[in-house]
Structure 1
Amino acid sequence: MNKHVLFIQGGGGKEDYAADANLVASLQEALGETYLVHYPFLPNESGLDFGRKKQIGKHISLHKGEIILVGHSLGASMLLKYLSEIKTRKKIAGVFLISTPFWSGDEDWKQGFKLHKNFADKLPKHIPVFLYHSKDDKEVPFDHLEIYAQHLPKATVRKITSGGHHLNNDLSMVARDTKSLSKS
């Protein structure tokens, strides 16, 4: 029986979806046949959060049994928002967050993405969280990883020397960490 992975894209347009498809392919290849990576297109909808919480909830609910969650960039931050604001009965084996922006500021357009101050307290306690960020990411500053590490002290933090925003489209490290869940 396959283990199911739900990958949430960064951005919202078809270009972002196509760019992240390379990450999904890398992850699927590194995980092998035992895992099935699901990659739904999440279009921008109306609303401050582009409809992401609703879309994420819908796709999580489609899977029977345990699920592994992976998000890139905006998708990673929206996974955290969803998990900290919506109670789910779904068994989640792990959460893997890649190049995750930490939204701050008072601009109207950011309000739907920002996490509550106590977001970490609202996350399910039993779910392992992994954070990945490249020091040479030109889209999301590397110091955002440190902010998340402070809020999520039990998270496994992977500081990557180079690879940019898409980690050179190589998610073998994420795959190794994903496979480690079944060993613990």
Structure 2
Amino acid sequence: MEILFVHGAGGYQDDLPLAEELRTRLGLPVTAPRFPDADMSAAGWRSEIERHRNTLAPDLVIVGHSFGASMALLHLADEFQGTPPLGFVLLAMPFWGSEGWQAEYTLPADATLPTGFPVWLHHCVDDEVVPIGHLDRHAARLPQAQVRRHTSGGHQFEGRMGAVADDVGTL
């Protein structure tokens, strides 16, 4: 099994410790490419996710953080071709289209995930970047998802990556 780690918008350097902690805890290969800061379009990021996904083994888990989590989910639900990854573990994912968050990134109302596709949603209550209410909206939209609400850890999941690694390890 391999992990594709999709960092948040403009957060490549900030998110590298999250990817490294997964590598250390799980002893698995973690690919954490730098996604484009210049092209923040949904199409641009989904294309990059697909490009990197195609270079990795088929037994792939995608872990996404913040904007990267929402782009990974949008990619799978909207345009995914081929064999889906083993599952998604999504951290601090914004719910786009709500409260002024950009509609370009919104998961379409008719979007579906493959039946039985494993999804975990992690969010810290004290996240000051993406409010905790976004987790509740995603949980309602994705009833098959396992929801992990952490009391602390902020946007960068300080001290919470063990729980994230545990979920990745179940796949």
TM over 0.5: yes
Instruction: For 1:106 and 1:142, locate their aligned partners in 2 and report how far apart those are by CA, in whole Å.
Output: 13
Instruction: For 1:87 and 1:59, locate their aligned partners in 2 and report how far apart those are by CA, in whole Å.
Output: 13
Match of 2:58 among 58, 65, 77: 65
Unaligned runs of 5+ in 2: none
C-alpha contact 1:66 1:90 (8 A) present in aligned 2: no
C-alpha contact 1:10 1:76 (8 A) present in aligned 2: yes
Query: Residue 24 of structure 1: CA displacement?
Result: 0.7
1:113 matched residue in structure 2: 105
Give yes or no for the alignment of 1:154 onto 2:144.
yes
Q: State the TM-score, normalized to the length of structure 2.
A: 0.92
Once the two structures are superposed, what CA deviation does each residue of 1:99-154 show, in whole Å capped at 9, x if it has no partner?
A: 000011596x82321111122xx212232000000000000010110001101111
Give yes or no for the alignment of 1:36 onto 2:29.
yes
4+ aligned runs moved over 4 Å, structure 1: none
C-alpha contact 2:124 2:153 (8 A) present in aligned 1: yes
Which structure 2 residues correspond to residues 127-138 of structure 1 after superposition, within 5 A? Answer: 127-138=117-128
- Paired residue total: 171
Query: Residue 169 of structure 1: CA displacement?
Result: 5.7
Counterparts in 2 of 1:111 and 1:48: CA distance versus 1, 3 Å: farther
> What code does the residue aligned with 1:7 have?
F
Instruction: For 2:55 and 2:84, locate their aligned partners in 1 and report how far apart those are by CA, in whole Å.
Output: 13
C-alpha contact 1:26 1:170 (8 A) present in aligned 2: no
Unaligned runs of 5+ in 1: none
Counterparts in 2 of 1:46 and 1:167: CA distance versus 1, 3 Å: closer
Query: Residue 49 of structure 1: CA displacement?
Result: 2.2
Which structure 2 residues correspond to residues 1-184 of structure 1 after superposition, within 5 A? Answer: 3-11=1-9, 13=10, 16-32=11-27, 35-46=28-39, 48-49=41-42, 51-105=44-98, 110-119=102-111, 122-168=112-158, 170-181=160-171
| More deviation, 39-48/125-134 | 39-48
Counterparts in 2 of 1:105 and 1:148: CA distance versus 1, 3 Å: closer
Query: Residue 45 of structure 1: CA displacement?
Result: 4.1
Instruction: For 1:178 and 1:102, locate their aligned partners in 2 and report how far apart those are by CA, in whole Å.
Output: 22
| More deviation, 83-92/147-156 | 83-92
Counterparts in 2 of 1:46 and 1:23: CA distance versus 1, 3 Å: closer
Larger radius of gyration: 1
Q: CA RMSD in A?
A: 1.8
C-alpha contact 1:97 1:130 (8 A) present in aligned 2: yes
